[in-house]
Structure 1
């Protein structure tokens, strides 16, 4: 690093500071291969660093800047692909992303990878006109080998490239199924990015060839409100955090038309149903029912104020910080149920024996959600005077109405639930043994039972 070059110097609240090397002298204390440089900082003052003579461009604390006279591509908001920078390192990446972010340019390319920075606000990047532009650009790019891309990096471009490689490959190696991996920390925008990708692919694969989607395309997109209702929750960092992983498989025919989709969920955070931290909420569905369902429906489901239920009052947090209303989400959920084929009438005829494969009444799903809330309010007390063969715990009498409500909603007798929570049956050789639970073991079993019930409701909705 010669005198006069512009550099990034490590330090300060922003981690890196702009400066110019003003002096470079041998460092006698560090050996013949070490030089000491002085950097005059733009913010004022100076800083000194020891630099190895043979590793000047890879120095840990001082990095060369991509500026006029030192690099062909200048760092900052104009960098659409970070790999085009002459010096690619931490400070120039942070600075370029920051400058682009301030200009609402949230997408930046890193070779074949797209880096997205969550704006935490609505940006004008997803209009029909912008979508049409990337669609046209994708067609021209794929069929004209001499075509130069003119559009900025965008998630539409990633989705378009995957679609073109699948349906109209330029070589035999591209004509195969494509995968798009969306990863990032909590709150990075993975859920929204997946929805944007799904919408773009649904439009490209629409049989109408326009933004007017058919039934299948609508069903693919309307799966998102259902998944978010039962699998997303407010956390400390994110008001719509996905508490599960998902693998989305979108199926196209040989002509590139969308024919269906399959969504596999895994690693659902079941423990959130029974316990969540301060400043967090349980899953959205509980608050959506409380805000959107009618008083008559909530009365039928034995749902009171959320502050009266154990599973929704632990943290004292009942709303969202992103100004999204649970009542509006409830309406979106009902529309999604309609598109997905969920029956409106809970009493819809279903043959005895299961009715496997028939549309699932949405009210049945809501009844199970309400039953989970009711079970959370059931308590037990120990019976220290219990004799041999007698139950070691007894239902707390104030909890009896909640047990009866849960039994009614689950369409089972209260005694069956009581037996399931206070005893367990094990196989011992050729005989069966019934073990009675004390209250602490009962509480653990009750939580597992309620988590399983919640998972069952979520699983039914996903499978539908």
Structure 2
């Protein structure tokens, strides 16, 4: 990572760190807003590239007010865990494919250190909730909530060993259980209160149960 700091892009091997450094130097030296557009087909590494950029920016900050900056950096990085939980899914090409678009604003102070941010999501693939392609999984959040007999599962009347239509042919795994804990840790890092977290998981539980509802129609003839 250090080899890209303060270097021109043509001086080093092509890497997303070089892109992040070039943007940050323009922002610091010229005081101009910069933008990175990450595009590509499913499985090309867009999500991982955005993580690398945030990690580089987090590492390439000054030592002044380190405690505050570390908190902001942690919030920016932790936000990815939540976004992936509710917006990513396993597809036939990628086990952690983003099924939504994301626009992230990172706010910097006059020294070029991150002091906050804003994330806008759009084009969420809602159709996945009710219709899955063979071999694919639904959004991670459903499997995380059903991965273990946790307080939320019991509270909302769910059974981790039951078969729910929303999961398709896939089932929750031990990895989903670990990710469930990471998601809740991310909620805490971002300042979500317990009641808000309960509300979020209650909505997920409601969707799981709603998709499982079977509607029958009785026809009457006179």
TM-score (norm 1): 0.44
Q: Give the deviation of 1:287 after TM superposition.
A: 0.8
Residues 427-438 of structure 1 mapped to structure 2, 5 A cutoff:
none
Provide Cα deviations, 1:319-376, integer angstroms capped at 9, x if missing partner: 68xxx911221121111111100113x3xxxxxxxxxxxxxx2111101100111111
Residues 8-157 of structure 1 mapped to structure 2, 5 A cutoff:
131-135=1-5, 138=6, 141=7, 149=11, 151-157=12-18
Q: 1:193 aligns with which of 31, 49, 67?
A: 49
Q: Give the deviation of 1:208 after TM superposition.
A: 4.2
What is the alpha-carbon distance in structure 1 between the residues aligned to residue 23 and residue 202 of structure 2? Answer: 41
Say which SS state the counterpart of residue 248 (structure 1) adopts. strand
Partner of 1:277: 133
Q: How many residue pairs are counted as aligned between the two chains? A: 221
Residues 5-404 of structure 1 mapped to structure 2, 5 A cutoff:
131-135=1-5, 138=6, 141=7, 149=11, 151-169=12-30, 175-205=31-61, 208=64, 214-292=70-148, 294=150, 296-305=151-160, 308-312=163-167, 314=168, 316-318=169-171, 325-344=175-194, 346=195, 361-385=196-220
Classify 1:319/1:234 alpha carbon distance in 2 versus 1 (closer, same or farther; 3 Å). farther
CA contact (8 A) 1:302 1:374 kept: no
Classify 1:207/1:219 alpha carbon distance in 2 versus 1 (closer, same or farther; 3 Å). farther
Q: Give the deviation of 1:306 after TM superposition.
A: 6.1
Structure with max Cα Rg: 1
Q: Which moves more between the two structures, 302-311 or 330-339?
A: 302-311
What is the alpha-carbon distance in structure 1 between the residues aligned to residue 179 and residue 124 of structure 2? Answer: 21
RMSD: 2.5
Classify 1:191/1:293 alpha carbon distance in 2 versus 1 (closer, same or farther; 3 Å). farther
What is the alpha-carbon distance in structure 2 between the residues aligned to residue 362 and residue 200 of structure 1? Answer: 30
Classify 1:212/1:343 alpha carbon distance in 2 versus 1 (closer, same or farther; 3 Å). closer
Say which SS state the counterpart of residue 168 (structure 1) adopts. helix
Structure 1, gaps ≥5 residues long: 1-130, 143-147, 170-174, 347-360, 388-464
Q: Give the deviation of 1:380 after TM superposition.
A: 2.1
What is the alpha-carbon distance in structure 2 between the residues aligned to residue 202 and residue 330 of structure 1? Answer: 25
Say which SS state the counterpart of residue 216 (structure 2) adopts. strand
| Greater RCO structure (CA 8 Å; 6+ sep) | 2
Structure 2, gaps ≥5 residues long: none
CA contact (8 A) 1:206 1:258 kept: no
Q: Give the deviation of 1:205 after TM superposition.
A: 4.0
More helix by share: 2
What is the alpha-carbon distance in structure 1 between the residues aligned to residue 120 and residue 39 of structure 2? Answer: 17
More strand by share: 1
What is the alpha-carbon distance in structure 1 between the residues aligned to residue 214 and residue 170 of structure 2? Answer: 23
CA contact (8 A) 2:28 2:112 kept: yes
